[in-house]
Structure 1
């Protein structure tokens, strides 16, 4: 399999370690950059001092699960600011919008003109990504997702022009994450690694990143939840999330994310939580189609061997403090069939799942998770 073609694109510079975020303010002039624009969620917009930037640095705030209107407003604000560097500061939503802003602000293009693979124009600004959660891995990749309001579909854009010039992985930025957010985003990173590892497009080179990401999460996610100030654990999770992002580029996710998306677009569950709720059931559903790799996953996570796989994986997630029933998160049972219909239509992911899943199969996953 090593003779299969593979291209891995990674950010030009990655800085890892406590205190690296505070260096951003001095890094910009070192790179002849003087007009930063921050794209951040509301929480991080209120702590720009963590980056060592002036208090008057312009900042565009984005909502979780941003839609086309959010993107249009961000692009308009960026054009008014005329930055020479766009900085994504937050979770996946902020970093995805930062990618899109960076390629759209100097061009008169609509999102429809650049959605899909390799249609985004070349950017004329520097792009820096600074994650504050250890989950999406968006900082590592070339893909961005935005929700289409009319259909509630997540539309993907992918281009090498959206790859960050610089990434900062600073565990101090994640210390403030509540335990439940740490757990949910950690399982999101886990899902990226697991789904790429078991994909029909899996590749030995990407398997290396996936294995290490899974191992790091199994070892350090419980530690970070037990003690949020554990900087070693926080750094390990940021690295695992980055590795998951590397996996997304050449391989990408499969059924786990396909069935999680409707929970976010239809019912506004945070992306990490949506993935965590579905993770045990998708892992078990795929197990017989990739038994050796599933065994590696269960070993790395320390899953109980005397329980059915779905139950053991459920207990792993519940042991992180997550409430694992869809009903517990106000998902109406009468919407499961429509969610199954929408998830089944996400062929860009499902076509590479190790097992073919029908609408009824997906509905059964939702019912098992309910």
Structure 2
């Protein structure tokens, strides 16, 4: 008999299709915020007028701006952003940018609430062996305007990189999820093509590993299967015409749906677990890790979950075909990397990656059981 538990997060609403500046103002009014810290993409601030439009729309409510969050959310930048939030006496954080900025603001919320003021002190609030320590809940919350489509804005988990150990660590509290997410396809036009498309494959990865999990359930399946079909149609349309805002919005909504399994307690698998290591230890961009690893993981898992993989292939428009091949062709068609060699990770690194991957939260919950680093190495060879 089917058993499970779905916990609904502390997000108030998702707004889609409205201009970002207008929607941000509406949200600050709804929440009664008077002192907003903008955490934004430095590139977006320097090369476009999008951030200026938001600052002007907020007027006196804009109390500060932080635009120095690198990829993979290093601890040092989190502390710097928390300092900026304190200096601004922020009562709300608004993020405009990719997943690293979104996760950075989640971490800042916990730093503010728990008086974390140094890089080393982040040890006191990180998740250890899947368990978050007792934490004071965030009082300063965030709203998010994502410019990429990996989906982190729909999660209460922040991935923060310890630059000393080169390990991405999790921070989590149910209130770190944004109170609102604003999906504006127009602001994503400035995102580099490779970044938008590769983070879209990260969203595909959320769908695929959620559907193929041995802990999959109907609530997550319903969202992930529809989200996957939207992404499978939308991403090639964006590739063909970067100005197609309807296709971009389809990808954004598909990404929202892609988080259904994870948000409802369905674990990810080896693609996500190995991806954590490739990102933190080797600097491989977040979405590119999925481009490289997802087809190989599906091929390795096929003996365990071929029926679930068939559902995925059908949702992507290729019923009856091998899912590894479907994903391989789809990612290649978007012009994205497909091998570890292409991201400058060679066989000499495989033992290190395999060992670290075993310590991630997802590799032990892969649908085909992984008991040793040697099995992770088998997957890496498939992705070489």
Match of 2:362? 349
Segments of structure 1 that go 5 or more residues without pairing to the other structure are none
Distance of 1:303 and 1:359 partners within structure 2: 33
Describe the superposition over 1:184-215 as per-residue Cα deviations: whole angstroms up to 9, x where unpaired.
11110010111122223222111111111111
The answer (yes or no) to whether the contact 1:196–1:248 under 8 Å persists in 2 is yes
Q: Aligned Cα RMSD in Å?
A: 2.1
Describe the superposition over 1:38-59 as per-residue Cα deviations: whole angstroms up to 9, x where unpaired.
1223223443134333496522
Cα gap change, 1:304/1:48 in structure 2, threshold over 3 Å: closer, same or farther? same
Match of 2:276 among 261, 273, 283: 261
Distance of 2:59 and 2:318 partners within structure 1: 47
Describe the superposition over 1:27-82 as per-residue Cα deviations: whole angstroms up to 9, x where unpaired.
42353212110122322344313433349652222000122112111111211111
Describe the superposition over 1:147-204 as per-residue Cα deviations: whole angstroms up to 9, x where unpaired.
1122221111221121221111111111223332222111100101111222232221
Cα gap change, 1:69/1:178 in structure 2, threshold over 3 Å: closer, same or farther? closer
Cα gap change, 1:4/1:312 in structure 2, threshold over 3 Å: closer, same or farther? closer
Describe the superposition over 1:281-309 as per-residue Cα deviations: whole angstroms up to 9, x where unpaired.
11121122122220011122234856x54
The answer (yes or no) to whether the contact 1:10–1:141 under 8 Å persists in 2 is no
**2:168 counterpart of 1:171:** no
Partner SS, residue 142 of structure 2: strand
Cα gap change, 1:21/1:233 in structure 2, threshold over 3 Å: closer, same or farther? farther
Distance of 1:304 and 1:11 partners within structure 2: 35
349-358 or 175-184: which moved more? 175-184
**2:21 counterpart of 1:16:** no
**2:350 counterpart of 1:336:** yes
13-22 or 281-290: which moved more? 13-22
Match of 2:65? 59
Match of 2:135 among 108, 117, 120: 120
**2:103 counterpart of 1:90:** no
Distance of 1:88 and 1:252 partners within structure 2: 26
Partner SS, residue 146 of structure 1: strand
Distance of 2:336 and 2:65 partners within structure 1: 32
The answer (yes or no) to whether the contact 1:224–1:234 under 8 Å persists in 2 is yes
Q: TM-score, normalised by structure 2?
A: 0.89
Partner SS, residue 365 of structure 2: coil
Match of 1:208? 222
Mapping 1:270-281, distance limit 5 Å = 270-281=285-296
Match of 2:37? 37
Distance of 2:221 and 2:10 partners within structure 1: 16
The answer (yes or no) to whether the contact 1:18–1:172 under 8 Å persists in 2 is no
Partner SS, residue 259 of structure 2: helix
**2:147 counterpart of 1:132:** yes
The answer (yes or no) to whether the contact 1:10–1:246 under 8 Å persists in 2 is no
Cα gap change, 1:10/1:282 in structure 2, threshold over 3 Å: closer, same or farther? farther
Cα gap change, 1:217/1:150 in structure 2, threshold over 3 Å: closer, same or farther? same
* C-alpha displacement of 1:20: 4.3
Distance of 2:31 and 2:320 partners within structure 1: 52
The answer (yes or no) to whether the contact 2:203–2:258 under 8 Å persists in 1 is yes
* C-alpha displacement of 1:144: 0.6
246-255 or 22-31: which moved more? 22-31
Alignment size in residue pairs: 367
* C-alpha displacement of 1:350: 1.7
